[in-house]
């Protein structure tokens, strides 16, 4: 009886591991998107805590627990749109565009932009120089273009 029970438990563990592996393999195309959304939420949380410290606001467990619901909501949203994309819209969208899972990527872009805007607002408050991520990115790209132009002139 004891041997049969241990054999049954071992069989269930094996089947469960196989099922989990299949689920991970199915969602592998969006694993990078899910990771990116999670990292952005963590960065937003970190900068939000820094902002609260600077403004001397009270940080409560209720506010911190909203991180979990936000993370779950964003991740489930991306997964649901991936399922819609995979089983319904992907073939239709691929006839017009050559981007697979385009709807999922658009939703991820919207969610990521919400987080980046929030991070930017937090950094504006935290930084002593009133740092703006958008202006810094523009300056960086302008400088990169100038360097590229200089290199092209040197080649000629």
pLDDT classification of 115: cutoffs 50, 70, 90: very high
Rounded CA gap, 136 and 151, in Å?
A: 22
How far, in Å, are 75, 83, 94 from residue 98 at the CA level? 25, 18, 5
Instruction: Indicate if the pLDDT at residue 141 is higher than 90.
Output: no
Instruction: Indicate if the pLDDT at residue 18 is higher than 80.
Output: yes
Contact 44, 119 (CB under 8 A): yes
pTM of the complete model beyond 0.85 = no
Q: Which domain holds residue 104?
A: 2-155
Q: To the nearest whole percent, how much of the chain has pLDDT over 90?
A: 51
User: Which tokens sit at 103?
Assistant: 């709807």
Which pLDDT tens digit goes with each residue over 34-82?
999 999 999 999 999 999 998 888 888 888 888 999 999 999 999 999 9
**Of 23, 39, 18, residue with least CA distance to 83:** 23
> What total of structural domains would you count in the chain?
1
Rounded CA gap, 25 and 39, in Å?
A: 21
């Amino acid at each position: 009886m004891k041997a049969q029970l241990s054999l049954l438990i071992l069989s269930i563990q094996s089947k469960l591991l196989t099922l989990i592996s299949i689920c991970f393999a199915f969602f592998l195309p969006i694993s990078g998107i899910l990771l990116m959304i999670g990292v952005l939420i963590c960065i937003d949380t970190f900068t939000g805590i820094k902002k609260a410290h600077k403004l001397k606001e009270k940080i409560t467990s209720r506010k911190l627990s909203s991180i979990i619901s936000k993370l779950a909501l964003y991740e489930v949203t991306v997964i649901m749109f991936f399922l819609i994309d995979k089983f319904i819209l992907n073939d239709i969208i691929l006839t017009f565009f050559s981007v697979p899972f385009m709807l999922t990527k658009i939703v991820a872009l919207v969610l990521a932009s919400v987080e980046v805007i929030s991070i930017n607002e937090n950094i504006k408050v935290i930084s002593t120089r009133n740092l703006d991520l958008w202006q810094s990115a523009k300056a960086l790209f302008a400088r990169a273009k100038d360097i590229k132009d200089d290199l092209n002139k040197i080649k000629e």
